[in-house]
Amino acid sequence: MDVISVIRTKRDRGELSPEQIDWVIDAYTRGVVADEQMSALAMAILLNGMNRAEIARWTAAMIASGERMNFDSLSRPTADKHSTGGVGDKITLPLAPLVAACGAAVPQLSGRGLGHTGGTLDKLESIPGWRALLSNEEMLHVLDTTGAVICAAGDGLAPADKKLYALRDVTGTVEAIPLIASSIMSKKIAEGTGSLVLDVKVGSGAFMKNLADAQELAHTMVSLGTDSGVKTVALITDMSTPLGLTAGNALEVRESVEVLAGGGPADVVELTIALAKEMLDAAGIKDADPAKALADGSAMDHWRRMIAAQGGDPDAALPVAREQHVVTAPESGVLTRLDAYGVGVAAWRLGAGRARKEDPVQAGAGVELHAKPGDTVTAGQPLMTLHTDTPEKFDYALASLAGTYDIAPAGTAFSATPIVLDRIA
C-alpha cells in the first residue's frame, strides 16, 4: 500500500477500499504518511466526499488507532454532548454541570478552536490553574466525585483524530462532512458514553451553511452512533447570529457563569435547557428539571466543584484584554441582522483563535456585543466592543466586520429565527 495511490483514488472520485482506509489511518498515526500527504487526502475528501461505508470504516479505523474507555463503574448513567462549532457557543460550560446536577454523569471530551469557531478547552484555560489534560484515572475520579468533567481526549484515545483534527484547522478542510462526522464520533464512541446528544449548527457562523448539509451531517453521525450501540440524538440549531453576547475565551466563561447564576442571555439559557432535557431523556432520567437546577444554584455548585477538581480557581478573576475598541451604530433604527461569521472572524483576528496549530490564543481577546437582532439602537450607541492585547489587530478585525450588520428604520417588523430548527433521532 502507498499513500499516493490512496490520494489518487479519492482525487479521481473513487471509493476507498477498507484496506486503503485502515492502512492510511494507521500509517498517518505512526508518522509514515506525512502531514502534507494527509492534507492532500483531506482536501480530496472535502471535494469528492465519502459514502456511508467509507465513513463507517474511516471512523472504525480512527477508533482502532487507540484505546476505548469504560464507565461501567459509575453509579449514574452517562450522557455526553457535542457541538459542531459556532460563534459564541459556550453552551458546554453551563450544560455539563447542569446535567450533572440533574443526576447524569457527563464525560465531556472537548477540543480547541477550529478556524473562526471557539474551542471549549481554550475558553476554560482562561481560568487560572485549570487543566485540560487529565489521565484516564483522573478523568474518572473527577467524573465520579463531581458528576461532570470537561477535558481533552487523552493521547491514547483516537490518536489518529488528534493529529488530523489539528491538521484540518490549518488546511481549509474543516468543513468536510465525512471528516467532521468521523472525528466527532470516533472520540465519542471510544470515550464510552452511554448516550450522546449532538448540536449540529447551521448558518453563516457554522461549518454547515445550509439546512440540507446540516441534516446530512446529523443523519450520518446519528447512524454512526446508533450502529455502535450509543443512543444518539441530534438537534439542528441556528448559527446565523452569535450565541449570547460574547465571542472569545474569558469573555465566554464570564457569560457562562452568569447563566449558572440564574441570569445570562435568553438564547444561551434556552439552548442550554433544551440540550439538557435531551441528554437527561437519552440517559433515562425523566423526573429532573434543568430550569430548576439553574435557578436553585445546584448547577453552580457542580460547576465550582468541577473547576476546582481540575486545578482551577472558580473565584479567580478572569483575564481582561489590555486594549478595547468600541464599534458604534452609524444610524438609528432596528438591528435586523448580525452575521455570526463576521463576528467569529473578528474574534479570531483579535487573538481568540489561531492561524496555525502551534499558535497560542489570547485569553482576554474577543468581541462583546451590546445589541442583538431585534433590538432598537440609536446613532452613536455602542454595538460591540473589541478586546485584544495587541491593538495593531484592530484594523484587521474591523475589516471582517464590514457589512456584517443591518439597521432598518425604526418600527420595522422583526421576526427572530428559532434556535432549534430540527431534531433527528
Per the residue annotation, which of 161, 199, 238, 267 is the catalytic one? Answer: 161
Beta bridge partners of 420: 237
Catalytic one among 65, 83, 183, 256?
183
> How does strand 382-388 pair with strand 323-328?
antiparallel
Long-range own/partner contacts, residues 11-20 (CB < 8 A, 24 or more apart): 11/40, 11/44, 11/48, 13/48, 15/51, 15/53, 15/54, 16/50, 16/54, 16/57, 16/58, 18/57
Contact status, residue 133 vs residue 151, Cβ threshold 8 Å: yes
Compute the C-alpha angle 237/225/60, nearest 5°. 125
- Identify whether 161 is a catalytic site residue: yes
With contact defined as beta carbons under 8 Å apart, do 44 and 7 qualify? Answer: yes
422 is a catalytic site residue: no
Residues 6+ apart with CB under 8 A from 373: 241, 335, 336, 337, 338, 414, 416
Residue tagged active-site, from 187, 349, 354, 393: 187
Q: Find out whether 170 and 357 touch, Cβ atoms under 8 Å.
A: yes
For this structure, is 5 an active site residue?
no
The catalytic residue among 10, 82, 188, 304 is 82
Note if 325 is an active site residue.
no
Task: Taking the CA atoms of 181, 187, 190 and 192 in sequence, report the sign of the dihedral they define.
Answer: negative
Give the contacts of 198 (CB within 8 A, at least 6 positions apart).
81, 82, 83, 84, 184, 218, 221, 222, 232, 233, 234, 235
d(CA 246, CA 347): 9
Q: Is 195 a catalytic residue?
A: no
Residues 116, 163, 168, 188: which is the catalytic one? 168
The helix (H) or strand (E) run that includes residue 327 is strand 323-328
- Between CA 139 and CA 146, with CA 144 as vertex, the angle to 5 degrees is 90
Catalytic residues: 82, 161, 168, 183, 187
